[in-house]
Structure 1
Amino acid sequence: MTRTVVLADDHALFRKGVRALIERDFDVVGEASDGDAAIRLAVDTAPDVLLLDVEMPGPPPEQTISTVRRRSPKTAVIILTMHTDAVLQRQLARAGASAFADKSISEDALHRLIATALPHAASPPDEGLQKSPPDRVLTERELEVIRMIAQAYTNREISKRLNITEGTVKRHTTNIYAKLHATSRIDAVRKVVRLRLLET
């Protein structure tokens, strides 16, 4: 079944560009230029994914996200932004954002993100993570890797940026999953957000 998507960004040209990139694989069911319109469209169409810019007219992004998640629980909210501020990401994740992507994200990475995004669900702290202080859960290199995963970089892109092999990236990712008891990239990002490991 084709996934349905709502695009929310106050720049019409950007929306047009994103739509052209994704509509061959996904069904774009609406576009919004402000937070209020994004909420209305999400409620009316109940899309699988809402691609949401954080700098739009209307309510604050946290309010937009929480309202969408409350009124359309099946909708995953993916944040598209030029900002990689870890504190902002943590706030939006707590509001219900499922994933984050820099607006310079590659076409393939964006497609993967939409295809695999699941609605954020609040969950209790993970057993096993409570036993160790946050700064001892992951190594410095693993923190570098998970920060880039949170920005939707591919393993190949991470390997180039960190000057390590793609196999080494995969090994770090496997270790991250094991330490966080995570089942996917999105799950791992959610858990490091809850642990505040993305804060600078």
Structure 2
Amino acid sequence: MTGFGVVHVAIVDDHDLFREGLAAILGARSGLRVVAHGARPADVLATTEAVAIDVLLLDVELDGPPARTTIASLRRTRPDIAVIVLTMHRDAVLRRTLLAAGATDFLTKTTPSSELVERIIRAASDRPPTSSTAETQSDTGTAALLSDRELEVLRLVTRARTNAEIAAELGLAIGTVKRHVYNVFRKLEVSSRVAAISAATRLGLLD
């Protein structure tokens, strides 16, 4: 935390009204100062104010690299910045994955502003993970989530392939494909192909 106990906050969210409203709410709180906000991480991290950032509030579904990539990169290059994920998704798998990548906290956008302020101050006071630890957690947390074969099957699911078509393309039995699809659903904690695609996209597994 820098500067006489003031926590310097940056906000990354691609919804202008939400981002600007949040900046106004936080800026009115004693002890907090919003130094930058933008629709993409680069919009705040490439500014001259970036050096002062203590806490970055990061949305999940943004243009560009997935959130876990941004978080892991910050753990390597700016371990002094605490990242709080602020998303509309109540997704346990997403939460575990982003915390493993090095996020300090994970909150939904239904969180009351008073609690958000408390969590920001707490995040600024806590020591972020070291870069080596964050890299290890990120590799373990994302690579082990789905096997290479499960990812291969999932990518074909995103192309609207049926189980029979996937089996023919990969040279597998239909029963084997069904098992892989089931495992993908189980690991992502979803119950449909559409939900699996959405979850995998948020996690950055399809990049």
Per the shorter chain, which TM-score range? 0.5 to 0.7
Task: Pick from 106, 110, 116 the counterpart of residue 104 of structure 1.
Answer: 110
Query: Secondary structure of the equivalent of 1:112?
Result: helix
Distance 1:80 1:86, change over 3 A: same
Q: Which residue of 2 aligns with 1:90?
A: 96
The residue matched to 2:121 in structure 1 has which SS? Answer: helix
Q: Which residue of 1 aligns with 2:84?
A: 78
Rate the CA distance shift 1:97–1:42 in 2: closer, same or farther, 3 A.
farther
Q: Distance in 2 between matches of 1:84 and 1:51?
A: 16
> Is 2:43 the counterpart of 1:37?
yes
Cα separation, partners in 2 of 1:21 and 1:43, compared to 1, 3 Å: closer
TM-score w.r.t. length of structure 2: 0.55
Equivalent of 2:21, from 7, 17, 20? 17
Instruction: Give the greater-gyration-radius structure (CA).
Output: 2
Deviations 1:93-119 (A, max 9, x none): 111100011101101101101111135
- What's 1:120 paired with? 128
Deviation per CA, 1:150-191, whole angstroms, max 9, x where unpaired? xxxxxxxxxxxxxxxxxxxxxxxxxxxxxxxxxxxxxxxxxx
Asked whether the equivalents of residues 6 and 42 of structure 1 are also in contact (C-alpha less than 8 Å), the reply is no
TM-superposed CA distance for 1:39, in Å, is 3.9
**Counterpart residue type for residue 10 of structure 1:** D
SS in structure 1 at match of 2:117: helix
Unpaired runs of at least 5, structure 1: 124-198
Question: Partners of 1:71 and 1:95 in 2: how far apart?
Answer: 14
Structure 2: unaligned runs, 5 residues or longer: 134-187, 190-207
CA RMSD across the alignment: 2.3
Q: How far, CA to CA, are the matches of 1:23 and 1:97 in structure 2?
A: 23
TM-score, structure 1 normalization:
0.57
Whether contact under 8 Å (2:80, 2:128) holds in the other structure is no
How far, CA to CA, are the matches of 1:119 and 1:17 in structure 2?
A: 28
CA deviation profile, 1:109-151 (whole Å, cap 9, x unmatched): 011011111353166xxxxxxxxxxxxxxxxxxxxxxxxxxxx
